[in-house]
Structure 1
Amino acid sequence: MENRNNEAAKTNLQQMLLHPEKLPPLPETAQALILLRNNPNANLDELVTIIEKDPGLASFIMKYARMAIFGYGERITSVWHAISLALGFNSALNMATGVASAGCLKITNRGPLGRIRIWHHALKCAALCRELAKTMEQKQSVDSGLAYLCGLFHNFGYLLFGHLLPQQYTFLNDLCLYYPAKETRHLELQVFGITHDFAGAYLIEAWQLPGEIVTAVAEHHFPDYEGQHAHYVKLVAVANRLLQNEGISDACDHIETAALLECLQIPGPDAEAALQMIDSCLDDFDTLATDLAA
């Protein structure tokens, strides 16, 4: 009976992915932020107004701006200060968009695939993707803001799994805990019949987010991908490798990280400096991830 129920859950999940109207809709705040992102005349006051309507989001933006790396600390006393002094308009808009988008997806907080761990990695990966994009010798080929969003959204498939099928997701979470040496995507296939990258791409496409993000979410485990938006795929893959994302390796063992950096025209020392900057903020990322899971 248990196996039959699991097969039924797999079938239901696949059917939901094929019908976007059955997936959780993009939250209203995220919709407003995306409209603002698409408005060439958008200004700081409009962004502050949207963020301040969501107390949780406003708190996150202020705490992010108080990270030691920015040097302002407790002098950040408002959302306006956080954006104008520390984060900048585009960075704040991208962060807010990612955080607001996840508001409709409810999953357990604990475990190797709990909300806390997922957010901790997402925040680090997004920040590293942005910094790596800034070091590319041909910067015109990528947008650092989009690179940040690719890193932030790349594991949203896990949030979708946990939201739609909480019982099966708890089982997957337990499997990852009990068998840490097992490759996580193989366990996902066992439990759901599909992997988080596949499911996440359907969600991001249903939300009508930019094609760069859809592709990065779908292909980030395949850095040998050479189609449209390949730079964003490789950026997320490199960031994951540099961060040594435990239990979740990509499918391209034949490609060295150094070769991917060369393809992206990112000097090795610059990549190392970007990683060191992220590593210097680990405690801050811990705090932010815990707050997002509250």
Structure 2
Amino acid sequence: MPLASRLSKYIDENAIQCQLVHHARARDLSHAVLLAGAVAECTVRTQLILDRDGPAVLIIPFQSRPDVDAVNRFSGRQFQIIDDEQAGKLFADCDHGHLPLLAQSYGLTVYVDHSVFELDAIFASSGCANTLLNLPRLSIRAAFHQCNKGDFSESLSAPEIVVHIEKGYSLDDVAKKLTTLYRLPPMPETAVRVMHITSDPNSSVQELAQLVEQDPSLSAQIMRYARSALFNYRGNLTDVKEAINAVLGFERVAKLSLGIASARAFTLPLDGPLGLNALWRHALHSAVLTQALSVMVNPDLGVDEHEAYLSGLLHNFGLLLIGQLFPPEYRMLNKLRVAEPERTMRDIEQQVFGMGAAQEFISLGHGSLGAILLKLWGLPESCIKVAAMHQSPSYEGEHQELVSLVQLSNYLLSLHGVGDEPCSIDFEGCCSALGIDPEQALILADTTVAQCESLDGLVNELVA
């Protein structure tokens, strides 16, 4: 549905001018803001409140908390905040987790914060998981002219999202806090379309090839990859479909296309150990070596080679996000990485993030930040877990074999000077846990790194 039926009827009957902003299916408003590329500062949210006389709603800025005491003083009632989980009966035509704007269409009393009327336009929930409303100022005033108006919210500030791992916040908790204060990059359209194709069991090589070929840059990169010494294909490849069928395979092309397209959401400096050149070189090496190592893993552990490839490719996306959200801190990370190459990224991040605007993330690091973004983008849970835990050698839990595999890959690459930091793991113990012969792993790494040197041209294309 494009928007909740009762809301749609109310908008039509009252001739309220608005636009529908479609996006991939979102879990809640925070997720929708990210996927739609909406402006968080211009977004409002609906908060359900309740007392013994019945329910009502607050309409407040997205980056604020409800001031229920102020509402109670204004109304003379005794409202309490009601969790969205209890809203199903009131908003039966809405998707779970999406409370609609204009709740008066449901017969509810509405309290609107004064600051909403100061915006030139607003984004708000339509009650549908894949559509936001965008209303201009005149429509905002027309829609709420008969509603209660007052100062019903308190602004959030950056220090309020201080996150410490020991406090037990989940990635969902952190993601919600993060998206209220920062505009995270939405997943690029091509990446979304790749995900749609790969999630459809009936999709074909022809469909994937057509999608790749619609993007000349992506098509050229896939062809260069297929022609690299990594695969040693001696035939004359003429198009993407042939590259898929004869050399790369459907899954590898899908995963590489997803990674390449997703990385376009970021703009970073090219040079330095954390510049795009180095990050992409590491990502491609890691993807290839992690997949190659996965074939050597004890089959009983159930490691999927395609998940291994994507996990290796995306596990450092948190560094891209840091560069996007916190440019000064990112530049400092880059400088310290050069000056103190023996230090771990975790140590350097702790130092840098305690110095400036990014200090609220002092306990996160790039791994957890990357995991948050991958989760918001709807990437596989295994990739999310690897991104979150690839800096934790002692990790035990879900997808721990895949986490260990990426750690092993990073360790082997670090021996060849590839990667963003020294990697300290129990090499023998890690190999033993995965059922991999250590000598064979070292030989495989030597061979893979030598073959991957042919991908330098691809790296240059990716960052151009």
TM-score in terms of structure 2 length: 0.57
Matched, 1:199 2:369: yes
Match of 1:59 in 2: 220
CA distance in 2, matches of 1:68, 1:154: 24
Match of 1:69 in 2: 230
Any idea what the Cα deviations from partners look like across 1:34-92, whole Å, max 9, x if unmatched? 11111111210010111112221111100000111322368223212221111111111
Match of 1:241 in 2: 411
Of the candidates 134, 141, 144, which is equivalent to residue 305 of structure 2?
Answer: 144
Any idea what the Cα deviations from partners look like across 1:173-231, whole Å, max 9, x if unmatched? 12222232332221122223341112111111111111100000000111321111111
Match of 1:3 in 2: none
Match of 2:208 in 1: 47
SS in 1 for 2:295: helix
Shift of 1:164: 1.6
- Which range moved further: 92-101 or 18-27? 18-27
Shift of 1:150: 0.6
CA distance in 1, matches of 2:332, 2:159: 14
Matched, 1:224 2:388: no
Any idea what the Cα deviations from partners look like across 1:214-269, whole Å, max 9, x if unmatched? 0000001113211111111001100001111555245xx5x521111111112224
Contact residue 219 and residue 233 of structure 1 kept, 8 A: yes
Matched, 1:133 2:294: yes
Match of 2:187 in 1: 26
CA distance in 1, matches of 2:437, 2:203: 34
Identity, in percent, stands at 35
Match of 2:347 in 1: 186
CA distance in 2, matches of 1:44, 1:68: 23
Contact residue 185 and residue 248 of structure 1 kept, 8 A: no
Structure 2 unpaired stretches of 5+: 1-156, 164-173, 354-361
- Structure with higher RCO (Cα < 8 A, 6+ apart): 1
Match of 1:258 in 2: 428
Contact residue 9 and residue 165 of structure 1 kept, 8 A: no
CA distance in 1, matches of 2:268, 2:228: 27
CA distance in 2, matches of 1:137, 1:204: 28
Any idea what the Cα deviations from partners look like across 1:91-112, whole Å, max 9, x if unmatched? 1111111111111111111011
Shift of 1:139: 5.8
Contact residue 230 and residue 454 of structure 2 kept, 8 A: no
Matched, 1:274 2:447: no
SS in 2 for 1:111: coil
Change (3 A) 1:59 1:73: farther
CA distance in 1, matches of 2:252, 2:419: 27
Runs of 4+ in 1 over 4 A off after TM superposition: 8-17
CA distance in 2, matches of 1:271, 1:239: 9
Higher strand share: 2
User: Which AA in structure 1 matches 2:223?
Assistant: M
Structure 1 unpaired stretches of 5+: 1-7
CA distance in 1, matches of 2:160, 2:334: 20
SS in 2 for 1:104: coil
CA distance in 2, matches of 1:91, 1:47: 11
Match of 1:5 in 2: none
CA distance in 1, matches of 2:160, 2:215: 36
- Which range moved further: 192-201 or 85-94? 192-201
Change (3 A) 1:13 1:91: farther
Change (3 A) 1:168 1:19: closer
Give the greater-gyration-radius structure (CA). 2
CA distance in 1, matches of 2:454, 2:211: 24
Shift of 1:23: 1.4
Change (3 A) 1:172 1:80: same
Of the candidates 155, 166, 170, which is equivalent to residue 331 of structure 2?
Answer: 170
CA distance in 2, matches of 1:86, 1:54: 20
Higher helix share: 1
- Which range moved further: 88-97 or 74-83? 74-83
Match of 1:4 in 2: none
Change (3 A) 1:23 1:139: farther
Matched, 1:92 2:253: yes
Contact residue 230 and residue 451 of structure 2 kept, 8 A: yes
Match of 1:106 in 2: 267
User: Which AA in structure 1 matches 2:373?
Assistant: L
Contact residue 67 and residue 73 of structure 1 kept, 8 A: no
- Cα RMSD between the aligned structures? 2.3
- Which range moved further: 116-125 or 187-196? 187-196
Contact residue 230 and residue 448 of structure 2 kept, 8 A: no
CA distance in 2, matches of 1:246, 1:102: 17
- Which range moved further: 182-191 or 126-135? 182-191
